[in-house]
Homo-oligomer: A and B are copies of this chain.
């Protein structure tokens, strides 16, 4: 699937949204939809919907529309969310706990297999069925279990160190809540940054001349 290389960020950004809207429709018992209907619900245009889907193949039927179940399946394949890549979470604070508790990893392409922390007060505690392990065991654990992705719920200052350990153990994917610019450490890693501060600043911006 070499196509992947040419997909623009704009399209990638929309894929999970399509999936979300379609999954909801599906749950409501809707079976088919036209690009027009879908566009209207999502606040976009039919053209964009069709262009986006056609980046990956022809999923519709002329004169009829799209079968939602089939679209969902294709989108799932495209995004690789039917995988179960081994993932670990580092940092068992409130944020780490929220992530471990709220995210249904199995529906998003990953399997959470461990939680690590460096604080004595947390090591050994149980969180959603995981016994929090010492960060000292990180490297061995990743190597033994083929960990592919790490979720960083740690302070910015600790990120570089932790990533060095993870990188040396072969971890290449990072869901990064730490605000550290990981790309500057290695360029053969995949990083998805979450900046909640940025999100809140955008909200603040839009308030200004309300």
A148 contacts across to B, CB distance below 8 A: 207
Q: Name the interface residues of A69-128: CB closer than 8 Å to any CB of B.
A: 78-81, 83, 85, 93-95, 97-99, 101-105, 108-110
A206 contacts across to B, CB distance below 8 A: 12, 190, 192
Judge whether A58 is part of the interface by a CB distance below 8 angstroms.
Answer: no
A72 CB, nearest partner CB in chain B, Å: 13
Q: A94-B97, A97-B98, A194-B199 are in contact. Are A208 and B80 (CB under 8 A)?
A: yes
Judge whether A13 is part of the interface by a CB distance below 8 angstroms.
Answer: yes
Classify the interface of chain A: helix, strand, loop or mixed. helix
A8 contacts across to B, CB distance below 8 A: none
Q: Name the interface residues of A145-204: CB closer than 8 Å to any CB of B.
A: 148-149, 172-173, 175, 179, 183, 190, 192, 194-204
Query: Are A101 and B94 in contact, with the CB atoms below 8 A?
Result: yes
Judge whether A46 is part of the interface by a CB distance below 8 angstroms.
Answer: no
Query: Are A201 and B98 in contact, with the CB atoms below 8 A?
Result: no
Q: Which of A104, A149, A190 has the most CB of B within 10 A?
A: A190
Query: Are B172 and A204 in contact, with the CB atoms below 8 A?
Result: no
Which of B13, B81, B104, B198 is close to A17, meaning CB atoms less than 8 Å apart?
B198
Query: Are A204 and B81 in contact, with the CB atoms below 8 A?
Result: yes
Which of B16, B149, B183, B209 is close to A1, meaning CB atoms less than 8 Å apart?
B209
A101 CB, nearest partner CB in chain B, Å: 5
User: Bound complex: CA of A195 vs CA of B190, how far in Å?
Assistant: 19
Q: A4-B209, A208-B1 are in contact. Are A201 and B15 (CB under 8 A)?
A: yes
- Cβ-closest 9 pairs across A and B: A109-B204, A16-B198, A192-B203, A94-B98, A98-B98, A16-B201, A95-B98, A80-B208, A79-B205
Chain A residues within 8 Å of B, Cβ to Cβ:
1-2, 4-5, 12-13, 15-17, 19-20, 43, 78-81, 83, 85, 93-95, 97-99, 101-105, 108-110, 148-149, 172-173, 175, 179, 183, 190, 192, 194-210
